[in-house]
Amino acid sequence: MTPIDVLEAYARRYPEEAAMTTRSRELLLSAGDMLARSSTPAHVTASVLIPQGDGLLTIWHPHLKQWLQPGGHVDPGEDVLTAALREAREETGFVCELMQDDPLPYDIDCLFVPANPKKAEPDHWHIDFRYLLKPVAPAGEPELPTACVPFRHLGELSPSLARLARKMQQDVQHDIRQNFTSLCH
């Protein structure tokens, strides 16, 4: 499936998110290679949602200086799900697998990214495909600091995570979150 196909399938599953999916589709159609990091005004990114007990495993983003869900750019030759699994391994130090029954992202968001002069990147948008994962094995040390943030506090980090916390609390069954050994210490 192309990213546009994924957005359309997602829009059918979550019709209440039509404004975001329409805007994301418009932005991606105006981009060159929608998976390439250099594409503007937007490109697809992959991130992961790893519930741990009553919280979400997050990483400290060095450029944005805030706690976010692990994720990043799609490397050449990767599909979006493969990128999400790689990012989970690199950033959290865990090999993960999908918790979902199908490969459609659990969530998609359209996120504004301010210019990064150090990387010569202009303002742009990330169309972030978010996958619900569970850790299955250690993979080494994480690249970035990690922390479990309780769902009730995610809204303090960003509006996007506030929306995501509400969605996860409604959609993710309580017993699924409780079936994993907590990484929160």
Q: What is the CATH number of the domain that holds 69?
A: 3.90.79.10
Confirm whether 106 is domain-assigned: yes
Confirm whether 111 is domain-assigned: yes
CA distance 33 to 53: 38
Mean pLDDT taken over the chain:
89
Structural domain for 156, as ranges? 3-178
> Can you tell me the mean pLDDT for 3-21?
95
Using pLDDT thresholds of 50, 70 and 90, give the confidence band for residue 177. Answer: very low
Q: Please tell me the total count of domains within the chain.
A: 1
Confirm whether 184 is domain-assigned: no
What burial class does residue 150 get, using C-beta atoms within 10 Å of its C-beta: 0-12 exposed, 13-18 middle, 19+ buried?
A: middle
pLDDT in tens, 52-111: 888 899 999 887 889 999 999 999 999 999 999 999 999 999 999 999 888 899 999 999
Confirm whether 170 is domain-assigned: yes
Determine if the pTM surpasses 0.85: yes
Confirm whether 185 is domain-assigned: no
